[in-house]
Structure 1
Amino acid sequence: MRDLARRCPSRTWPRTAGWVHGGDRKAWHRPSRKRCSRPGCAPNPNPRAEWQSPPAVVSVILYHDGSTTGHFPGNPSRFHLSDTQHQNNDCPGPPSAWESLALPPTLPPGPTPSPVKPRLRSARTPRRQALAPASYAPSLEALLGDLTPEAFLADYWEKHFYRLSRGQPDFYAPLLSQAGLDHLVASALALDPTAVELLRSDLPRNRMKDPTRAPDAQLLQAGYEAGSTLRVNAAHRFSTSIRDLCLSLEQRLSAPVNVNLYCSPARSQGVQAHFDRHDVLVLQVAGRKTWSLSPPPVDLPLEYVPPFRFENLEDAQRFRVTRHQPSQVDNSSPTQRFTLEPGDLLYLPRGHVHEARTDGGHSLHLTVGFKSITYADCLASAVFQRAHQEPRLRRGLPPGFASDSAAWEELRGEFRRLGEALFQSLDPDAAVSEVVEVLMRSRSRVSGLTLGSEEDAPRVHARSRVQRRFGPLMRYREGDGKATLQFGQRAVSVPADFGEALRFILRTPRFQVGELPGPLDDEGRVTLVRRLTHEGLFHIVSSNDG
């Protein structure tokens, strides 16, 4: 069908028009609208636009954005026809009064059905934006409910568990639905079958795997029906919404985030009592699960140490991490026991002993793990940075130190002397900067795409609303009369006068361009946001043309 009209952003459109019955015939009536005041926009020379309607369409509705919706008799389905974008200010003008367009003879007589409402969309929003796929990524504020992130980080983070009974069973539905679960597992099996595994608390993990057979849907289904929990490791690799959740939390907490999925049948327990070496948020998506908690046997256990050049990572974890931590835990007398309902949340600091089991029904939950960067990581970075400047740190240990007692004593003395001088010469700013750069570089590998941003930038104006893209970690710094905003592998440096505006951007994910603070006029604000949009930091969410 050809479009019934074109749209000019400065026009005032009527809400609807439609078929009107008059006597023994029906006609298409369209109310008048104001003439476009934009230069070069003349009235339509042919107000009776030619069009053809599919047979059996008994109702067509023209909406104020220029789109149409049609009905088929006896069928609730509909079709939605787009308008032609206004180009070069040459959109056709409307009829000056009500117009009647003859009804095609293929339409049967009868009463006009109630119009179907179109998708909710601003009349001034360009269609390319309106049809952009919506992404659900709940912020930390939304996840925590009434507890503010500031209070959570001050009172609970790395200290105490926190449980939220939300009373909203469908809270996580946009994040993961039943259909989404099926697609996620299928995607994992297709892309990385090793990411999917079955767990049972009464069997070791190596007993749950068949070395002669890669996991497939039939094997997983059989294991699930036999009482095993299905786990998908790094589930954010297979779901856009879960990936965006990771990116949103990484932006807020400056820590790498990993999400695992657990789907458990009724009356089952996937993992024995244990503690994690990373902080965890549990999102109860569906079903119910009973949790038992005990105090941590070790406070904030380490998860990682850098291996030596002659050591593999597995040995480093086994002999230099876990041997300093208890190998078995006792959860026979838990201090806390409760049941998570759909929509609930649980935060567990690393080290807290826990186990979970289902009772009368199945359970589906996500565990969001935070790989916190520790002070030990920063100190290690500072020591190696200092080694680039201090030759004594680059010297090899005395030959034969492993077996020669004299060499051992020489090593001890030099170690003390170096240690006393070293910690007074470490540069904390340089160490933290290196950690931040490495973190931003590693995360930009999966969140650095800015496709299409070059087309958005020219359309930014003072009344546009823009939103930060999910993903890039951000950092602000000043120096040499410039203010710099770094995001991912990109950086924008501007005169120091823009510093207040950049700090506002750093803490505000969504805003109107004209709201930027600082000694800037509208032209300066638009120029700054266009530059950042072109670099891929923002995308336009609405464009009010006035």
Structure 2
Amino acid sequence: MKMRKDFRQLVLESKKSEQKGPKQNHFIDSQTASVNGHEGVSFEDINGEVQDESVNSNSDEEQNKKPHIDDLSCPPPKFSSDESDIDSQSNGTDVLTTNATSVVGKEAGGRKKKVKKEVGSKTKTIIKQDKQGMIVADSVEEGKKVKKEVGSKGKKVKKEVGSKTKKIIKQDEQGMIVADSVEEGKKLFSWLIDPILPEDFIKNTWETCPMVLQRSQPTYYDSLLSTPAINEMLKTHNIQYTKNIDITSFSEGKRETHNPVGRAHPAVVWDYYSTGCSVRLLNPQTYIPKLRALNATLQEYFGCFVGANSYLTPPESQGFAPHYDDIEAFILQIEGKKKWRLYAPRKKQEVLPQFSSGNLTDEEIGKPVMEVTLNPGDLLYFPRGIIHQGHTVPGCHSLHITLSCYQRNTWGDLLEKTAEDGEIEVQISVGCTSIANGGGRSVGTAQSQADTMELGVSLIPAALKIAMEEDVSFRQGLPVGYLNYMGVVNTKRDLPQRQQFLTKAKTLFDKLFEYAPVDAAADQMGKQFMHDALPPVLTPEEKQSSVFGDGLRMVSEGKVVNRVEIEPDTKVKLVRAHALRLVTEGDDNTVRLYHTLDNSLEYHGEEPQFLELSVDHAPIMEHLIHSYPKFVSVSDLPLDDLAQKVKIPLTGLQVVSDLWERGLLLTEGPLDIIDD
């Protein structure tokens, strides 16, 4: 495995121990790196204590026992044949099809207890009791009552286990039986990333840097999926192209999808595979019970959906272009080998991104910061935003599972939900509840408040959008397990985690104001006012100094008289301070000038009225707005810079003339008549 030192990473190797004992030493290669200007962190060797000997036994016999996941107190069910790896139904429930009668003996609390369990036809029950008194029962027999003997006094506990259900029960110090799915999820995650403890992983690696576990244990994950299981799944179920499976290829820098229409039959899929195409299963957990059990248990720990894709790639080929994802990715190598190249985010906005990228090219991504070949039993983790691509080696295919979690599960997403659910009240008052005049123009309070509220609340999403693009703290994931102490049902609980969560949320709320486009929101309020308002009422003198009373007019016999022109020494001003509003809308080359001159005397009788100006003309409007109520000479407007910029003389003078002809400008007096 090749690694560059300019990226923070962990490379771990789990080694077998020749001597059985309560502890193992797991060495982490120290790497110093930096990403996007952040100082790198040097990780020293860490000694990890094995928490569960059923997962990390030191004897060679136990090391070779498979699958390790079946040694957990909450394993995906183990079947007796490849065919049993495929769910006989597609309704999302476990179906166990093993005939067995078993007697299981376990040592717990310093005593040995024998638990006798008879299991009927097509039923499998696993009962385990670990060192802490953990008891696990799985059963699919409808209505079967299970009797267990628990505790030193021989207390009898009756437990009814319904059809196709699984319960995890634990006996605490008081002898009570309680469910603890979160602890089971944590234990399963501990097995997944062994020898790293979940607490250490979350503290040092999560959302921070890639991590590689190279175990030299080829069977570590092989109970989850296999190529025969995929073949059986295709035979048994109506697997649809695009919905459940993709056929892809990547060659000469071009990524292609070759999906036919309809059901994916094994013969067709393997024909594509034999010609060099990769096979991606989009939701294998739907059809593979053990994988579904894995995801369903892990989501109890993470507090969010845990999904899975599987990728089967023929030798010496690649199915996908370089890209980055919007999920935390755990790559579990099942069969064969695959060489991975990882690349640092190209810019700060791509660190922990909200959305996945499109297909990237080698020229866009630079040099890899990590190169590693995964063998069966290995794990590769990388955060969202890490650019990656994988390629199989000559003579060896690859099958891996990608577990994914924490999609759209960030602080920014939480704040967005807060705004959507109305927890934040944005009150912007216009100081009036109705407007009326003799023409019957009126507006009720409900409509006025609705318009105002819509504009006000939109400020929060706009600020969030900017903040999430510019500030990585808004894109960081919520604490793992936060649902255990947050929410309405937890409001009265005085927990340190809860106080830390609320403090962080408040800090981000305060910080959010820095990204709030308050000026843009004010312009939107002004735009709304332009639509609501009455047109200005001019005095007779003002009419004579505007297009409404000055300028050309026709007299008898079709004769046009009173020709006038705006000259450089003409003095002008806006017709009213609030008869127009300059707003940045549309594309980057234009601005909009909303105005009230053509408004109806009935409320919203016309659509909003606006002129579209070039951004080069915006300085002229800014000068006129800032000069009001004074008259300014046209020659004092920033015309020279404009003319030089657009290379058209007197362009600004034409803009002023156009504004006057629209009724938006008044002159200091009637314009001089030009003799024809």
Q: TM-score range with shorter-chain normalisation?
A: 0.3 to 0.5
Higher relative contact order (CA 8 A, sep 6+): 1
